[in-house]
Amino acid sequence: MADDPVNQRQFAEDVAAYAAGAAGSGDAPTNFGDPNGNFKMPSVDEVWKIIEQMDGISEEEKANLKENLYNPQEGTTEDFMRRYAQTGPVHSSWDYVLFFAMIAIIVFVFALFGYKVYKSLTDKERMKKEKLKSKQAKKSKKTN
């Protein structure tokens, strides 16, 4: 988008329209503050109403959020972030053991099939050589 002036212009127009209050159907939040830059923090009830409207949250998560909104627990922000913001999936050592065992089984199966193919090809080659030798031996007996 950085090299596309048409998209840059459209983006700038969209931002200007949003800032002017013409953001559209009202889905986007438009009143984070007044034009003077004064920010009004939403009340707990306003936050709860927004949470209730969310579709992707289970009832259990909503209940947990409601409990934390209306009865905040003592602690630091780091405690909250550590509890609720996982950076990625948590794996136990058994997960890794299972993963490596499956990889080992797959490698073993490929090695087994490779060995069988190699053995078959070498046996065919050996049989060809033996057949050729026997034909040459018969041919040399006829000429004698």
**pLDDT digit of tens for each residue in the chain (144 aa)?**
456 666 667 777 777 776 666 444 455 555 555 566 666 777 778 877 887 887 777 888 888 877 877 776 665 555 655 666 656 666 788 899 999 999 999 999 999 999 999 999 999 999 999 999 999 998 888 876
The count of structural domains within the chain is: 2
Q: Please list, residue by residue across 49-67, b when 16 or more beta carbons sit within 10 angstroms of its beta carbon and e when fewer do.
A: eeeeeeeeeeeeeeeebee
Query: Which domain, by its residues, includes 105?
Result: 92-144
Q: What are the two backbone dihedrals, phi and then psi, of residue 88, each rounded to the nearest 5 degrees?
A: 180, 180
pTM: 0.35
**Within-domain flag for 9:** yes
Q: Which residues of 14-38 are buried (b: 16+ CB within 10 A; e: fewer)?
A: eeeeeeeeeeeeeeeeeeeeeeeee
Q: Is residue 72 part of a domain?
A: no
Q: Check the CA dihedral 126-130-133-139 and report its sign.
A: negative
Residue 53 falls within a domain, yes or no? no
Any domain includes 26 = yes
Residue 112 in domain: yes
